[in-house]
Amino acid sequence: MHLDLEQTLKKYWNYNQFRPHQREIIQLILQKRDGLVLLSTSGGKSICFQLPSLLMEGLCVVISPLLSLMKEQIDELNQRGIPSIFISSELNQEEQNLAIAEIQNRKYTFLYLSPEKATSQTFLELFSTIQISYFAIDEAHCISGWGHDFRAAYLDLVLLKQHFPKTPVVCFTATATEKTQKEIVELLRLNNPFNIKGEFDRENLAYNVVYAEQKWLELIRILKQSKGSSIVFIQNRKQTQAVCEFLRSYGLDADYFHAVRNVLSKSTNSYSY
C-alpha cells in the first residue's frame, strides 16, 4: 500500500513525498471509515480526499459550497487525467441528464456537487444506483455556528448517512472549534470517526493592526507598496464595489467578488486573480 500511495502521488501530482498528516488521512479513508479532518488552508486537504478514490472502486462524491472552488478543482483533476465533473444549476436539464447518464456509465472518478444538489431527490436516487467510494464534505464547518445561516443545506447532509449508512463520510475543514467539531460529528451522524488535526501556525503569515485617520488612503499606500496580488476584505456587498472603484481611481488594477455577482463575472475574476 505504501508503494501504491507514493506511486499515485508521483503519477498524478508529481510530488515525491506527502505533506504532514496526508498519508495518515489517506490510509484511514482507505479503511472505509468516517472521519473529520482539520487542516489549515493550503494544508493539502484536497489530495487527502482525492488520492484515495484513485485506489478504490466507485465514484467519490465531493460536496462543496463554492462553485468557483468546484470549477477550479474539476479543471485541475481533468488536467491530471482524472475524469471528473461537477453538476450545478449552470447546466440546463438536458446537460444534467447527460451528465447523470455518464455517471451511471462509470465515466467519472469524481462528482462535485453543492449540498443542495447532493441532498435532492434526483441525486439520492442516483446514488442508490451506483457504487460510491465515499462522500467527502468540504468546508464542513458550514453545518455549525455561522453555518446555520451561511449554508443551511449542510444540515440536510445527514440524509447521506440515513440513506447510505455503510458508505463512509469524511468531513474536511480549516476552521472548527471543539464545539463545532462535536456538532459536525453529531449532526452528520458520523460513526466512530477518526479525527486528524494539522498545525495551524502559519509562519509565513503575520497580522498587523494599523491605526489611521484616513484608512482608505492608508490602504492605497499599503497596496502600492505591496508586491504581487492582494485581497481586501470588505464588510458588505455594496461597499465592496465602491472600494473597488475607489482603488481604480488611484490607478490600481482592481476587481470585486461577492455572492450575488453573476457567475461568469465571478469565474473570470477568480482566474484573473
Contact 95, 21 (CB under 8 A): no
pLDDT band at 146 (very low <50, low <70, confident <90, very high): low
Find the domain containing 22 and state its range: 2-197
pLDDT of 165: 97
Region 117-126: what's the mean pLDDT?
97
Interval 71-107: pLDDT, tens: 999 999 999 999 999 999 889 999 999 999 999 999 9
Q: Does some domain include residue 189?
A: yes
pLDDT at residue 149 tops 50: no
Give the Cα separation of 210 and 207 in Å (integer). 10
- The answer on 191 and 65 residing in a single domain is yes
Last residue of one domain, picked from the residues 166, 197, 228: 197
In a domain, 206, yes or no: no
Q: Is residue 208 part of a domain?
A: no
In a domain, 207, yes or no: no
CATH of the domain at 120: 3.40.50.300
Q: Are residues 132 and 247 in the same domain?
A: no
Domain boundary among 163, 197, 231: 197
Under DSSP, is residue 261 helix (H, G, I), strand (E, B) or coil? coil
Asked whether residue 54 is assigned to any structural domain, the reply reads yes
Q: Which residues pair with 110 in a beta bridge?
A: 60, 84
How many whole angstroms separate alpha carbon 59 and alpha carbon 6?
A: 22
pLDDT, residue 236, reads: 86
Instruction: Decide which of 88 and 271 is more confident.
Output: 88
- Do 118 and 251 have their domain in common? no
37 and 137 fall within a common domain: yes
CA atoms within 13 A on the CB side of 54: 23
Are residues 112 and 241 located together in one domain of the fold? no
151 plus 191 within the same structural domain: yes
Is 202 a member of any domain? no
Residue 204 covered by a domain: no
Round the CA-based radius of gyration of the chain to a whole number and report it.
20
- The b/e string for 24-55 (b: 16+ C-beta within 10 A; e otherwise) is ebbebbbeebbbbbbbbeebbbbbbbbbbbbe
* End-of-domain residue from the set 138, 171, 197: 197
194-197 and 110-113: which strand pairing? Answer: unpaired
**pLDDT above 90: percentage of residues in the chain:** 67
> Based on the structure, what is the number of domains in the chain?
2
pLDDT, average across residues 27-52: 92
One domain for residues 160 and 76:
yes
Per-chain mean pLDDT for the chain: 89
235 and 122 part of one domain = no
